[in-house]
Amino acid sequence: MLDTFPLRIRVLTPEARRLAGLLVPLDMVRSVALPSGDELVLEVERAKEFFGLLADLVTANGFDLERLQILDASTEAVFEYLMRTVTHPW
């Protein structure tokens, strides 16, 4: 069940907009936000697959990632996800 848990990720890179343009077409990317010029916040599904593709994109395009942070992979976030799934089984 946790394989479908959507994950929020924060990426800091000087080329956030260019990286966002490459990530938007990926089917596992649910949303993309650019809160500032060097910050990208993503919501993704199938995290293992996403991280593999992200690594390939970063390497192939020479991106300089300053930081990669999972924003909601806490026990509380997992609990909230499980509770939403139980109360609203889509």
Q: What is the pLDDT along the chain (90 residues), one digit of tens a residue?
A: 555 678 899 999 999 999 999 999 999 999 999 999 899 999 999 888 999 999 999 999 999 999 999 887 666 666 676 667 666 655
Contacting residues for 87 by C-beta, under 8 A, at least 6 apart: none
pTM here is: 0.78
Looking up tokens 């300053």, which residue turns up? Answer: 66
User: What contacts 14, CB < 8 A, 6 or more positions away?
Assistant: 38, 64, 66
Q: Output the CA–CA distances (angstroms, integers) from residue 37 to 24, 31, 60, in the order listed.
A: 17, 17, 22
Q: Looking at the DSSP assignment, which residues form a beta bridge with residue 29?
A: 44
Predicted confidence at residue 82, as pLDDT, reads: 66
Whether 16 contacts 89, CB under 8 Å: no
Q: What is the pLDDT of residue 6?
A: 84
Question: How confident is the model at residue 89, as a pLDDT?
Answer: 54
Shortest CA distance to 42 belongs to which of 62, 25, 59, 61?
Answer: 25
pLDDT of residue 85: 65
